[in-house]
Every structure is written in C-alpha cells, then in structure tokens.
Structure 1
Amino acid sequence: MLDTSAAQVPTLSLADQASDPDAFAQAFGTSFQRFGFAIVADHGIPQDLIARAWAETEALFALPDAEKRQYHVTGGGGARGYTPFKTEIAKDAKHVDLKEFWHVGRELPAGHRFADTMSPNIWPTRPEGFRDTFVELFAAFDAAGDRLLSAIARYLKLAPDWFDPAVKDGNSVLRLLHYPPIPADAEGVRAGAHEDINLITLLLGAEEAGLELLDRSQGEDGGRWLSIKPPEGAMVVNVGDMLQRLTNHVLPSTTHRVVNPPPERRGHSRYSMPFFLHPAPDFLIETLPGTITPENPNRYPEPITAHDYLYQRLVEIGLIKP
C-alpha cells in the first residue's frame, strides 16, 4: 500500500559549484542516485525574468479557447505551440491528464542541419512580449542546465565538459503548464504517474503543492509517494529516461505525478514551467562504459539515437499517432 509523506530531498546551492565543483557534483549526484531528484537554489535565472514569465503564462492560458486552439498543430506531436486540455496521457494510464500546455523550443537559424527534425516555434499574437520573454527564459534554462550536466559528468568521473557536444543545439523544450480548476469528482489526476523522456528536467513552480515522487528505496515493486516542497524560488531537477539509459540505471529516472488538490483548493489553477533538457537529435544514447559492472551488466547493448527514442516515447504517451 502506497502512502505519502514529505521527501527528504536535499536543497543544494548552485552557487557552491564555483568554489568547490567536486563537492557540489558529489552532493548533486548523490541526491540523483538516491532519489532521481534534487532541489537546486541559487540557480542563476533572474527573478524578474521568472516573474515576467509567470505573468505571461497566466495571460496566455486565460485567452479564449478558440484563440488558443489556433496554435495547435494537428499531428505535430505537441512539439511546439498549444496542446489542449485532456490530450496527454501517462504511459499505461487509464485517464488523460487534467492539463493544457504550450511548448517553446530552440530557435534555429535558417538552413540549420536540424531544421527537418526540430520544428520551428509558434508564437502567439497575445500576450505582447511573449516571444522575447520566453526566448530569454529558454536561454537561461539552457545555461543552468549546462552547469548541472557538468556536475553530473564529474559525478560519473567524466570530463566536466563531456555533455557539451551532446546538447549543443539540443532538442530541449520549455513547457508552460496550466492545470485548470477541477470538480471534486474529476476522473484522473492533474498529471498521472510517469517518468520524463529527456536527460534532465529543470522545474519551476513546484512550490504549489501536488508534485510527488515514488521512493523505490524498498525495491522495484514497493515504495512510498513522497511530496516535493522546495523553498520558494528553488528549482526541482530530476533524471529523465535518456540519462537513466545512458548511465545504465546508476542514475534512476524516478516515477512522479501531480496529484489533485484537496476539495477546498480545486477551484484554483496550478501553473508550472518544466524545461526538458534534450540532447541533439543525432546524439547516440550508448551505455557509458564506466557504468557497466559484473553486478550491473549492460541493460542496453543496442544504442539508439535521441530522435528515435523521443519518437517512440511520444507515441506511447499519445502525442503522436503512428
């Protein structure tokens, strides 16, 4: 029987990386290996930029439904622009998630070699300033993600810049999420139990209650749901399936969900902004030799490109119809 309690996920300061990168890497990697999650304060994304992004996210989702749906690309897999309420479903779930979202990707120059596999961004007419705000925020997330990947590389005894070529021009996605008010008898939850697809996810907005991770310290088949409650302004960071595969499960991609609030809070919206950090589409996800041991043999002898892996997973969660 699963129960819920507060998770003892440590809060780390990314500012400590500058003075002692090895100590920060050890603390960050240890939290990842134990929980698949870490909480990171002092992440370097300006608070005024974050405040502007929250305001424009609320304004975007307050637009009329018909206006938002003009930015939905049928058959586009939700890669860019708007995805309507009750579209995405967690793998093997019975009910669709109670959310709507908007995707912002990397701005590529004309003729870029990934133009065929990374869709161009879709920008709404309203709210004014939306494009400038989220291009800036995407770059800020990108920079924070690079610093965290450097710590992961150190923890895995790789060169600190090992991930740099993997994520240069990576297919990362900034998701603006709105969980609308829901009736007390709603079927399903705001986001069903799932794992992320990418390398790492950097999440703002988890201060609003609801995010829980499944602690598997008691084994693959048991565990408790642990609620994540970061300090205000801190970022929740978690392992995605691509990093789990790359590290042969040394760093686990932990199941997590967003549960519905208590009845007295169901009339309130919830907003969050996850940044799904992806490698470039042609990056080959191949098990790191240092993670293969007699006790942990290679689980993935066949490598796969990041593009092919992403496609498989988008089919599983209903965003692409094969």
Structure 2
Amino acid sequence: MTPAVFEDAMVWSSTAAPNSARNRTSQHGEDGIIGRIFSLFPQSPTPRFCVDVGAWDGKHLSNTYSLLCSEDPSMKWKGVLIEADRERFDELRALHSPINSSLPKILQRNSVPKDLDFISIDVDGTDYWLLHDLFDAGWRPKVVLIEFNPTMPIDLVYIQPRSDRVRHGSSLSALVELANKKGYTLVETTLFNAFFVMNELYEDHLADEVHDTSIEALHEVTTGTELYQLYDGTVKLHGCKRMLWHRSYAIDETKLQMVPSSERGFPFAPSSNDESIHQDDSRDEQIRASAINIASYCTDDFEDGAREKCRAKLYETLMTSGFALIRGTGMSGSTCRDCLRSAKSFLHEADEAVRRSTLTKDRARRGYSPICTENFASLVGKKGPNDLVKKTNVWPDATVWGEKEVEFFKTSIGDYYCGLCKVAESVLQAICEGITANDPKLKKPLEAIVKPCNDSNKPLSESHTSILTLLGYQPGTRHKRGSKGFMKPLVAAHTDVGVITVLLFDSGECASLQRAEDASSADPENSTWLDVDLPSIPADDPIFVVNVADCLSELSAGAVRSTLHRVVPRPFGDSKICRAVRTCLALFVGLEPNDCLTLPSGENMTYEEWRKKRIAKATSAMKE
C-alpha cells in the first residue's frame, strides 16, 4: 500500500469487551463470531489490542465497535482505527483526534504490539496486500478478520493488482494460501469476511469446536455467477444474474452466446434406439409395477373388493416404510407435464426478476431455503398459516415475464393444484379406512382427517394449511465433494409436519429424494438411505409419491410411519450422472387450524395447537 491511502488515522482506547449479540454494528454476524473466538482464549491480564483498517466512521458496519465501545468493563480493549476516505474520516474526528501518517508509522507510533489480539481489514480492494505487508513487517495478530470478494469461486486463487486505484478484491482461496504460509488457520466465514486464527491458538482452543477448517466446509459461494455449456452449444448462466455492486445492471445471457442459434445442435447425438432409452423404459416399467392402484377410491365405478384390496396394500406399505407410490388417480398426464414444464420455466429458466415479482411482505417462500434450491409457495388457495409458509395469490408480473408465460403458468399450476387436492382426499380416505380396519379404536382420533373427505362443502383445496410448493434443485457447490469426500444434503433429513405429502418430480438428475430404510429411525447419521424414484416423464396415468407426515402418524398411534427423508446431490464426477436441474411439485396436506384433534392418549387440542407444539419440540431438539 502507498502511504497516501492512510494519510488519516486515529487512536482510540477504551475499556470494553466483545458484545454477545451476533450483530451490534457488524454486517453479517461478525460481532458474535469475534466474541465467540475470544471467549475460547485464556483471559488476558493486559488490555487486548485491535486494529481496524477501513473503519468508516468507527461504528457503521464496524467489526470493532463492539470491542471498543462495550458497556461491559470486565475486559479492556485498545485499538487503532484507520480510514482513507476523507468524508468518512471526518466523522471519526468527533470521537478522537486524528494522526496523519502511513500504516506502518501509525502502528509503530501508537505502540501497537507485534502480537496484537485482533485486526479487521476491510478496504474494498487491496485487503490482501495489507495483510501481506502486515505479516512481512513482523506483526502477528492472534485473530484476523479480512474481506474477500464473495462472487469468486472457492477454488479460484485471484490476487488483485497492488494498486490503490484498483477495486477488484481478492478471492478467499488467495487469502487462505497467504494465511496458511504465515501460520494461520481459517476458522469461519461470513458472506464477505474470513476469520483466521494463529495455528497454535487454533490447536489449543478451537480445534474441538471447528473440526473441519477446509474452505469447502466453512464457506459456500451464494453470490457467484457461473457459466455452463449445453450440448447444443448454448451458454447458460447459473447463480447471481445481476451485477452485485452495480445493481441496476442485469447480466444478459443472450449477449454471452458464442454459437449462433441457427447452428446449435449436438454433433454426437445418439440415435433413437440408443440402449439407454431401453434401460429407462425398463426402469419405468418396474416403478409402475410397484405403484398401488387407487382407482377404486378415485371413481364410483369399481369392482367388489377393490377398495378393500387397495387400502390393505396401501396400509401395509405405509406401515412398513412411510412412503408409497400410487397410480390410478384420474389425474391427466398432460396436466402433470404442463405443470412441471411451467414450474421448471419459472424456477430455472426465467430471470430472477420474474421470481422476485411474486414476493410480498409475507414472502411466499418456505421457512427453510436449502442451497441450490428455489422454493416457491402455492399460488392458489386462501391465505392462512402453514407449518412453514404463508400462501399468496400474487402471480408473476406479466410486464416482467410476458402475458403468455404468466397465463400458462397460472392455468397449469391452478389445474394441477385443484386436481391433486381431490387425489389427496381419496388417498386420505383409503389410508384412514385401512388403519381403522386393522384397529377400530383409532376411528375416533382419525375423524378430523376423514372429515374433509366427506364434507363436500369444504374441499381440501380450501384448507388453510394445505399448500402446493414448487421446488427447484440446481447443480452447485454442494455437488462437489469436500475435503473428507462427502457432500452435504440439499435438504437435510426431516419429517413433514402436516398430514400427508403428495409429490411429483421430473427426471432431473442433479438431486435425488431419499428415505430412511428403517421407518422408525430418528438418527439420520446412522440410517441406511434408499432412493425414491418416479418415471422419467409422467405418463397418461401418472405416478405420485405419498409419504406420511407427523400429524397422521401421531393420530394413528404410529400405525403408519412419518419417515425421515432428505434430498441429496448427485456428484459431478460420475460420468453416468446427468447434471440436469430437477423440478418437484410438493402438496403438503394439512387441516383447518381450528379442527379439533383427539389424540390416542385422549388429549384434545386444535390442529393449530398441535402444530405449534410439534414445531416447538423440533426447535428444541435442534438446539440440543
């Protein structure tokens, strides 16, 4: 760095201690992380010392304000705050008198110890070179917080030119390489900042808390923009499709094309009789053979004994695994295909502005947001509480997406939702009759579930807590094996909170739905996982996945199981695996909030009371 960058600085001494809040003045939780790191170190008999390079006004988005200005007098902190921008620095004058000097002179003149406790470097550009020069000059801070460019891939080593006039930023990998050479270990990251601790302090105090210090384990790029190529020569964008710091500019995918559209095509396309096609057909036939035909519950025209046979098989399957494949629903194959196609267009192909145009203050998104997924809540039905979402009637903006696209989207989603709600009513009737046929004592607890099926004035599609969710999974960093050779799930192992879930998904192979082999297992770490598959393309008699949710499992006293399931990525490295995106339509079936439940134990409560109790129990378990 040239001295001109640090022509203004100020010294600040205060009695302070790290604030326990995650964000007091920091931007992405740095206050809490700093506090946690130092809480693991032995207490210092002398005041700790910090340096903040790029301090702004000393408070706005500051990573040191909570150290220097805490009201807790139990620990003392001293520090040096440095700011190059004249306007920002003027605001520091109200706090202390400035000193004009270069960075080395500032540190030396103010007797900053070589083994200072903490330094924060955030200058939007030459951060790498500041840390480099700090190490070369002999300073060895115990903890380093430094900004990196969050759009750069984690495997990219990029060091911006050594110039104050350049504003590129450096990559996290470049900073990790530098820190490792100087005896530092990466222990945490936020969206923009990395935390490094001296190796000896990490080994003595943090190794038990931060087991895996690889970049893959500690950071995931969520604001990056990636390019990938389709077989026909089309160049596609994945990730952030707007300029991050110049937000009025979108990245135009059409301007990135190298091959003219008239010349695109896969030069090595297989013939139509390729062996893989026959393998897919054979696989689809096996799936169809295993599906339970519930036509007797979806039509008034059925043979004697058909319903008894259907509910017995459905009950036996759900009792054993908690999951079942069903067919004979009466749903149109074209309705299913249209809905999947419009959902895929909305989630994966449309510009981000299209999805954003549907958001309201209720945020029609699921309560969890797995990496590499785009989750969009039901666009039909009444507003009301749900286990994880709120419904919305806000459709994509036609001025953003186009009138034809929006109309097709609304029609296909609406037709599918209404049709599948009728299917869900029939499935619930079959399940409940199968349960009570085996245990008549459960008829009373199951009345709340059977009621919607028999009440023609209150169809399931109007139930406040039944909701259709569109799920999109895309290849991303979680498809790459980490330092220990494993990949994190896209959706962690869980059970559904409501009554049942009815699923349909396409053949996109970047993700796979899995269920625990042992339906009674509550331990995802030690479970054996089985893939749940559907045919590649919904046929005229489409097949759906049905899984039992927690409410039905509890009301049936465990007669049918609410089974752990998850969504996992498929690795890039396997040449047999396609990286195609996956689109899933999930109908989460619930009850009216005021519906009265009588549990097998005899306890009475409303569905809303049960739901809150169940979520509180899950939240408590997660905190243990």
Q: 2:597 matched to which residue of 1?
A: 285
Q: 1:22 matched to which residue of 2?
A: 308
Q: 1:98 matched to which residue of 2?
A: 372
Q: 2:279 matched to which residue of 1?
A: none
**Separation in 2 of the partners of 1:189 and 1:220?**
17
Instruction: Find the residue that maps to 1:252 and give its secondary structure.
Output: coil
Aligned-pair distance for 1:115? Answer: 6.2
Determine if the alignment matches structure 1 residue 57 to structure 2 residue 353.
Answer: no
TM-score, normalised to structure 1, is 0.75
**Separation in 2 of the partners of 1:68 and 1:32?**
36
More helix by share: 2
Letter of the structure 1 residue corresponding to residue 607 of structure 2: A
Q: For residues 24-67 of structure 1, what are the alpha-carbon distances to aligned partners after superposition, in whole Å with 9 as ceiling and x for unaligned?
A: 00100111110001001222211111111122112212222233
Aligned-pair distance for 1:156? Answer: 2.0
Q: 1:13 matched to which residue of 2?
A: 293
Q: Which runs of 5 or more structure 2 residues have no equivalent in the other structure?
A: 1-286, 437-442, 482-486, 620-624
Instruction: Find the residue that maps to 1:128 and give its secondary structure.
Output: helix
Q: Are the equivalent residues in 2 in contact too, given 1:206–1:229 (CA < 8 A)?
A: no
Q: Are the equivalent residues in 1 in contact too, given 2:516–2:527 (CA < 8 A)?
A: yes
**Separation in 2 of the partners of 1:185 and 1:42?**
39
Aligned-pair distance for 1:107? Answer: 2.8
Q: Are the equivalent residues in 1 in contact too, given 2:379–2:395 (CA < 8 A)?
A: no
Letter of the structure 1 residue corresponding to residue 395 of structure 2: W
Q: 1:212 matched to which residue of 2?
A: 514
Matches within 5 A, 1:124-135: 124-125=396-397, 126=401, 127-129=405-407, 130-135=409-414
Instruction: Find the residue that maps to 2:608 and give its secondary structure.
Output: helix
Matches within 5 A, 1:213-228: 213-216=515-518, 223-228=527-532
Letter of the structure 1 residue corresponding to residue 586 of structure 2: P
Letter of the structure 1 residue corresponding to residue 492 of structure 2: G
Q: 2:534 matched to which residue of 1?
A: 230
Q: Are the equivalent residues in 2 in contact too, given 1:213–1:254 (CA < 8 A)?
A: yes
Determine if the alignment matches structure 1 residue 188 to structure 2 residue 488.
Answer: yes
Letter of the structure 2 residue corresponding to residue 243 of structure 1: L
User: Which has the larger displacement, 259-268 or 39-48?
Assistant: 259-268
Q: 1:69 matched to which residue of 2?
A: 356
Letter of the structure 2 residue corresponding to residue 46 of structure 1: S
**Separation in 1 of the partners of 2:468 and 2:520?**
33
Instruction: Find the residue that maps to 2:353 and give its secondary structure.
Output: helix
Q: For residues 247-303 of structure 1, what are the alpha-carbon distances to aligned partners after superposition, in whole Å with 9 as ceiling and x for unaligned?
A: 12221100001110121547421111111111112122322x5xxxxxxxx3xx544
Q: Are the equivalent residues in 2 in contact too, given 1:203–1:273 (CA < 8 A)?
A: yes
**Separation in 1 of the partners of 2:591 and 2:515?**
24
Q: For residues 86-122 of structure 1, what are the alpha-carbon distances to aligned partners after superposition, in whole Å with 9 as ceiling and x for unaligned?
A: x716xxxxxx4431111115534xxxxx768874422
Residues 58 and 16 of structure 1, relative CA distance in 2, 3 Å threshold:
same
Aligned-pair distance for 1:306? Answer: 2.5
Determine if the alignment matches structure 1 residue 45 to structure 2 residue 331.
Answer: yes
Q: Are the equivalent residues in 2 in contact too, given 1:242–1:285 (CA < 8 A)?
A: no
Letter of the structure 2 residue corresponding to residue 175 of structure 1: T
Q: 2:608 matched to which residue of 1?
A: 307
Letter of the structure 2 residue corresponding to residue 123 of structure 1: W
Q: Are the equivalent residues in 1 in contact too, given 2:395–2:410 (CA < 8 A)?
A: yes
User: Which has the larger displacement, 242-251 or 226-235?
Assistant: 226-235
Matches within 5 A, 1:245-264: 245-263=554-572, 264=575
Q: Are the equivalent residues in 2 in contact too, given 1:167–1:278 (CA < 8 A)?
A: no
Instruction: Find the residue that maps to 2:423 and give its secondary structure.
Output: helix
Q: Are the equivalent residues in 1 in contact too, given 2:508–2:578 (CA < 8 A)?
A: no
**Separation in 2 of the partners of 1:54 and 1:194?**
24
**Separation in 2 of the partners of 1:224 and 1:244?**
21
Instruction: Find the residue that maps to 1:104 and give its secondary structure.
Output: coil
Q: Are the equivalent residues in 2 in contact too, given 1:11–1:230 (CA < 8 A)?
A: no
Determine if the alignment matches structure 1 residue 270 to structure 2 residue 582.
Answer: yes
Q: Are the equivalent residues in 2 in contact too, given 1:98–1:191 (CA < 8 A)?
A: no
Q: Which has the bigger relative contact order, CA under 8 A and spacing at least 6? A: 1
Instruction: Find the residue that maps to 1:229 and give its secondary structure.
Output: coil
Q: Are the equivalent residues in 2 in contact too, given 1:12–1:41 (CA < 8 A)?
A: yes
Letter of the structure 1 residue corresponding to residue 326 of structure 2: V
User: Which has the larger displacement, 26-35 or 266-275?
Assistant: 266-275
Q: 2:419 matched to which residue of 1?
A: 140
Residues 220 and 116 of structure 1, relative CA distance in 2, 3 Å threshold:
closer
Letter of the structure 1 residue corresponding to residue 406 of structure 2: E
- The percentage of counterpart residues that share the same residue type is 19
**Separation in 1 of the partners of 2:356 and 2:612?**
23
Q: Are the equivalent residues in 2 in contact too, given 1:214–1:254 (CA < 8 A)?
A: yes
Determine if the alignment matches structure 1 residue 175 to structure 2 residue 487.
Answer: no
Q: Are the equivalent residues in 1 in contact too, given 2:521–2:527 (CA < 8 A)?
A: yes
Q: For this pair of structures, how many residues does the alignment match?
A: 282
**Separation in 2 of the partners of 1:100 and 1:309?**
29
Residues 140 and 219 of structure 1, relative CA distance in 2, 3 Å threshold:
closer
2:502 corresponds to which of 202, 207, 216: 202
**Separation in 2 of the partners of 1:192 and 1:131?**
30
**Separation in 2 of the partners of 1:270 and 1:72?**
22
TM-score, normalised to structure 2, is 0.41
Residues 144 and 225 of structure 1, relative CA distance in 2, 3 Å threshold:
same
Instruction: Find the residue that maps to 2:326 and give its secondary structure.
Output: strand
Q: 2:142 matched to which residue of 1?
A: none
Aligned-pair distance for 1:200? Answer: 0.7
Q: Are the equivalent residues in 1 in contact too, given 2:312–2:434 (CA < 8 A)?
A: yes
Aligned-pair distance for 1:241? Answer: 0.8
Q: Which runs of 5 or more structure 1 residues have no equivalent in the other structure?
A: 1-6, 90-95, 109-113, 290-297, 318-322
Q: 1:111 matched to which residue of 2?
A: none
Letter of the structure 2 residue corresponding to residue 172 of structure 1: S
Letter of the structure 2 residue corresponding to residue 21 of structure 1: R
Q: Are the equivalent residues in 2 in contact too, given 1:97–1:192 (CA < 8 A)?
A: no
Q: For residues 152-176 of structure 1, what are the alpha-carbon distances to aligned partners after superposition, in whole Å with 9 as ceiling and x for unaligned?
A: 1211224895452597431211111
Q: 2:53 matched to which residue of 1?
A: none
Q: 2:552 matched to which residue of 1?
A: 243
Instruction: Find the residue that maps to 1:137 and give its secondary structure.
Output: helix
Determine if the alignment matches structure 1 residue 35 to structure 2 residue 321.
Answer: yes
Q: Are the equivalent residues in 2 in contact too, given 1:10–1:31 (CA < 8 A)?
A: no
Letter of the structure 2 residue corresponding to residue 37 of structure 1: F
**Separation in 1 of the partners of 2:385 and 2:337?**
34
Q: Are the equivalent residues in 2 in contact too, given 1:199–1:241 (CA < 8 A)?
A: yes
**Separation in 2 of the partners of 1:175 and 1:218?**
26
**Separation in 2 of the partners of 1:237 and 1:206?**
16
